[in-house]
Amino acid sequence: MTASAGRIGPNAIIQTAAALRARVGEVHAQALVVGATGRGLGALPTEMVDEAEVNRLVRALAHDLDPALFEAVLRDAGRRTADYLMAHRIPRLAQRLMGLLPPALALRVLLAGIMRHTWTFAGSAAVTLRRPRGAPLTLEMRHCPMCRGMRTGTATCHFYAATLEHLLTTLVTPAARVVETSCEATGGPACAFALRLRG
Ligand SMILES: [Zn+2]
């Protein structure tokens, strides 16, 4: 499989464009999205997109925005994506069940669903769940499409961290936190998201 063979759900573009528009305004958002993807804000994708397009958009934001704004936009996009998933993709019954279960069990139900749907968000990345000794359950992505080709001093996959955190805080426990503890953009072996149930 080549690096460009992976495809990702359109939310990575749609919700990033929405978050960008909310923070930098229509004109600047339009310029950034068209420049990176060739699509205008009025012609955003409705089907799976090439992961290379998502990667170009993330890299364009990293290049154009200061680091705090870059993080704020991608975290907002991740939250919006989680809201979309809860409104349209995660069955109501499963959501009610998670609300009734203790957090550790609710997390298991949620992760089972996430692992069945890695094809919707991971593109050509390999996704695994690990529990490193003494550390919380961790979702790992190798060959992450978001930060591919980037070199940064700090973890940079805020979209994934925020999507996961918003799902966990809403469906599992409000105390949950998701932290990217390793990132391929900083030279890490994988992008790793620690899923903590208590702060
Ligand atoms: Zn990363």
The pLDDT score that the predictor gives to residue 109 is: 96
Asked if residue 180 lies in contact with residue 142, where contact means CB atoms within 8 angstroms, the answer is: no
Q: Count of CB atoms within 10 A of residue 84's CB? A: 16
- Quick check: is 2 in a domain? no
Q: Residue 183 Cα, ligand 1 centroid: separation in angstroms? A: 4
- Quick check: is 176 in a domain? yes
Q: What's 32's domain CATH number?
A: 3.90.1520.10
Q: Residue 74 Cα, ligand 1 centroid: separation in angstroms? A: 12
- Quick check: is 96 in a domain? yes
Q: Residue 49 Cα, ligand 1 centroid: separation in angstroms? A: 20
Q: Residue 100 Cα, ligand 1 centroid: separation in angstroms? A: 32
Spatial CA neighbour of 150 closest among 158, 162, 140, 138: 158
Asked if residue 150 lies in contact with residue 183, where contact means CB atoms within 8 angstroms, the answer is: no
- Quick check: is 1 in a domain? no
Q: Residue 153 Cα, ligand 1 centroid: separation in angstroms? A: 11
The pLDDT score that the predictor gives to residue 3 is: 43
Q: Residue 152 Cα, ligand 1 centroid: separation in angstroms? A: 10
Return d(Cα 48, Cα 10) in angstroms, integer: 5
- Quick check: is 39 in a domain? yes
| pLDDT tens figures, 8-30 | 999 999 999 999 999 999 999 99
- Quick check: is 75 in a domain? yes
pTM of the model: 0.95
Is the pLDDT at 84 greater than 90? The verdict is: yes
Indicate the pLDDT class of residue 199, thresholds 50, 70 and 90. Answer: low
Contact partners, residue 156, CB within 8 Å, separation at least 6: 62, 146, 147, 150, 180, 183, 185, 186
- Quick check: is 91 in a domain? yes
- Quick check: is 33 in a domain? yes
Q: Residue 108 Cα, ligand 1 centroid: separation in angstroms? A: 23
Q: Residue 140 Cα, ligand 1 centroid: separation in angstroms? A: 9
Q: Residue 157 Cα, ligand 1 centroid: separation in angstroms? A: 4
Domain count, the chain: 1
Q: Residue 123 Cα, ligand 1 centroid: separation in angstroms? A: 14
What is the percentage of the chain residues whose pLDDT exceeds 90?
93
| pLDDT tens figures, 105-135 | 999 999 999 999 998 999 999 999 998 888 8
Quote the domain boundaries for residue 97: 7-196
